Amino acid sequence: MNIYVSNLSFNVQDEDLREFFAEYGEVSSAKIITDKFTNKSRGFGFVEMPDDEAAQKAITELNGGVVEGRAINVTVAKPKEERSNGGNNKRSFSNNNNSNRW
């Protein structure tokens, strides 16, 4: 099961996240999501647990728990949604001010 964990302290690392869930069963992976430019935590992450029963128990018991002064949210991760712009990630900008004509 893939688990989404949010409202994490920016100090929490991958290994910390793994340890929170390891008490409930085997953890296949634990990853804090970081900003691609600064490499700093974005305050959320994902944990994968192969045993759905253990994962559900972890979700139930850890959701709302306080870690480093913050109440974390723990839920089943939802699949990433497709973007509504049809995959075209280009942005267009226009200047409708006609006074800039050559």
Q: What is the pTM of this model?
A: 0.77
CATH (residue range 2-76): 3.30.70.330
Over residues 49-78, the pLDDT tens digits come to 999 999 999 999 999 999 989 999 999 999
Categorize the per-residue pLDDT at 35 as very low, low, confident or very high, splitting at 50, 70 and 90.
very high
Q: Where are the domains of the chain?
A: 2-76
Instruction: Give the residue among 10, 5, 27, 3 at the shortest CA–CA distance from 68.
Output: 10
Over residues 73-85, the pLDDT tens digits come to 999 999 877 666 5
Q: What is the mean pLDDT of residues 21-34?
A: 97
CA 98 to chain CA centroid, Å, is: 44
